[in-house]
Structure 1
Amino acid sequence: MTDPTVVLVHGAFADATGWIGVISELRSSGIPVIAPSNPLRGLTADAAYLASVLAQLDGPVVLVGHDYGGAPITVAGTAENVVALVYVAACVPDEGESLAQLQEGFPGASSTGRLKERTYPLPDGDSAVEVTIEEAAFPSVFAADLPEDVAGALAASQRPLATAAFTEKTSAAAWRTKPSWALVAGADRMIDPEVQRFGAARATAAVVELPDASHAVVLSEPTRVADLIRDAIRTTSRPTATRP
């Protein structure tokens, strides 16, 4: 079987450079990896963009999503060349479910009260709303286990998420037919760890939990994240690979 390419999909309030440590870890093992930029303009648009990236790759793909990135990989992961899904401190929605619906009933960690709204223009001349995390709150909410200067730089450079991403419903759930893995960040103050556990259990994912990890686990624990991805690669590279 051809070695899979790992496609790393970042989430909200971040960009692809957040995967830098994970990329280094995977490349040290000879694993091909790319980290495309997630547009963050809404679930439908983001999933379509990701699907276009996957369609232009040769061979199998292990698709990895962090944070909101878990939603577009859930939709685009139905592509034939995707052999595994890996969710990292991520939302794992079901078909026909929005992220807002997924998080209802979980009163724990949430950034909702710390979001700052801005508007941006649409091609038709109308405007839409996007959000970032208030800069002063960002370190504690998103990156509590990173050095203060790093968290501050991330806060200043965060990419906004269109609010449409919260309400658009998922058109497919690739985890229903593809083997899945999940890393739960136990000290996450952005996405309630219970939301992460619920989604992982529903997807019958193989789960690793890091009790002290913040939402920025891809930066604070790149080796542990890479180890989970390597496990997905090893398992799905077997001729008789099945859902874990």
Structure 2
Amino acid sequence: MSIKNVVLVHGAFADGSGWRNVYDDLTARGYRVTIVQNPLTSLADDVAATTRILEQQDGPTVLVGHSWGGTVITEAGNHPKVAALVYVSALAPDSGENTAKQYEGFAETPDFVIDVGEDGYGFLNREKFKVGFAHDLNDADAAFLRDTQVPINMAVFETPVTHAAWHDKPAWAVIATEDKSFDQAMLQHMAKRANAKITNVSGSHALFITQSKTVADTIAEAAESA
């Protein structure tokens, strides 16, 4: 095993506990896995939270991001310990681009509804949560995800990435083909632009839970190949 360290970065409206299945799978294979808890308050704050974890790694690391976590790893992935990037139905802006720009020219996602409060923080709409985020989870697990949401400061989507790490680091992507949070064409476009090796898998935006084996297999491939 060429790389043994894996760092997992969650996305918006979630926390690190959703990675449990991936964590269990990879640790059973002998990987040292650490999970970032993003504050979701700003891109800088989330990158800082990720960098703190990267600093704790004892060697080359595979950095993995789901959804908004893809923007985070695109910036944080410039850290010298990062040897490979894995995007899990994730955003991947280019240098100088913000996250919001990724949506331009792609289809709307009517089942993915964000309710934004007066303070500028967004939650996923309770009624639409399961269909928009996790339609392949059972009702109880989807309800738990819904009720443990971490709101995100919507201003983060306007902050540009300084330098996209995928220009310098090899990338992989796992894309859920029934993802209702992003237009499928948008996910494919971002992954191809990053020269990522793409694996398509049937699943919802919650593929980090429901397709954890495919995600873990891809991370292991990145660790072996990078």
Same fold (TM over 0.5): yes
2:169 to 157, 172, 178: 178
Q: Are the equivalent residues in 2 in contact too, given 1:7–1:35 (CA < 8 A)?
A: yes
**1-side partners of 2:124 and 2:57: how far apart?**
34
Alignment of 1:1-244 (within 5 A): 3-109=3-109, 114-119=113-118, 128-210=119-201, 212-236=202-226
**2-side partners of 1:167 and 1:102: how far apart?**
11
Structure 1 runs of 4+ aligned residues shifted over 2 Å read: 1-4, 108-112
Runs of 5+ consecutive residues of structure 2 not aligned to the other structure? none
- Number of matched pairs: 226
Name the TM-score, length of structure 1 as normaliser: 0.89
**2-side partners of 1:151 and 1:197: how far apart?**
26
Per-residue CA shift, 1:157-207, capped at 9, x if unaligned?
Answer: 111010111111111100000000001111001122211111110010000
- Offset of residue 45 of structure 1: 2.0
Q: Are the equivalent residues in 2 in contact too, given 1:47–1:73 (CA < 8 A)?
A: yes
- Offset of residue 44 of structure 1: 2.2
Decide whether aligned partners of structure 1 residues 84 and 110 sit closer, same or farther in structure 2, where only a CA change above 3 A counts.
Answer: farther
**1-side partners of 2:95 and 2:193: how far apart?**
12
- Offset of residue 48 of structure 1: 2.4
Name the TM-score, length of structure 2 as normaliser: 0.96
**2-side partners of 1:63 and 1:90: how far apart?**
12
Per-residue CA shift, 1:71-110, capped at 9, x if unaligned?
Answer: 0100010011100000001011111111111111101436
Runs of 5+ consecutive residues of structure 1 not aligned to the other structure? 120-127, 237-244
- Offset of residue 3 of structure 1: 3.4
**2-side partners of 1:110 and 1:167: how far apart?**
21
Tell me what 1:122 maps to.
none
Q: Are the equivalent residues in 2 in contact too, given 1:95–1:169 (CA < 8 A)?
A: yes
- Offset of residue 115 of structure 1: 1.2
Q: Are the equivalent residues in 1 in contact too, given 2:3–2:224 (CA < 8 A)?
A: no
Per-residue CA shift, 1:110-129, capped at 9, x if unaligned?
Answer: 666x211224xxxxxxxx41
**1-side partners of 2:224 and 2:52: how far apart?**
26
Q: Are the equivalent residues in 2 in contact too, given 1:43–1:164 (CA < 8 A)?
A: no
**2-side partners of 1:202 and 1:27: how far apart?**
31
Kindly provide the amino acid, as one letter, of the partner of residue 92 in structure 2: V
* Structure 1 stretch displaced more, 172-181 or 128-137: 128-137
**1-side partners of 2:2 and 2:191: how far apart?**
27
Share of identical aligned residues, percent? 38
Q: Are the equivalent residues in 2 in contact too, given 1:40–1:162 (CA < 8 A)?
A: yes
Specify the SS of the correspondent of 2:36.
Answer: coil
